Amino acid sequence: MSETRAFVMRLKPGNVDEYKRRHDDIWPELADVLRASGIHDYSIFLDEASLQLFAVLKLRDGHTVAALPEHPVMRRWWDAMAPLMEVEPGNRPKEWPLRQVFHLP
């Protein structure tokens, strides 16, 4: 059974088009790392009024997403994306996890 996670992030003003462009051209090696960690069915949506990004993804059983922050490809992606969005020290995107309160299977 998959686990579903959802969270929000926030873009800095003026970066919507560039954020979308970079994700449309996601690095193949990053996509491979994400899939290998157990992530699948991953989508990010934008609330243009607030610049909040809503992300939702599914994790396969036995996933290894906790190790992603140490992966060199993930670190390079975060460094490349840092100018576009709110980040933590080390350029990890700021994330606010969301708690599921309803699901209709």
Enzyme catalytic residues: 23
The DSSP result for 38-95, as a single string, is: TEEEEEEEEETTTTEEEEEEEE-TT--GGGGGG-HHHHHHHHHHGGGB-B-TTSPBP-
Which residues share a beta bridge with 85? 11
Strand order in the sheet with 52-59: 39-47, 52-59, 3-10, 96-97
Rounded Cα gap, residues 17 and 80, in angstroms: 15
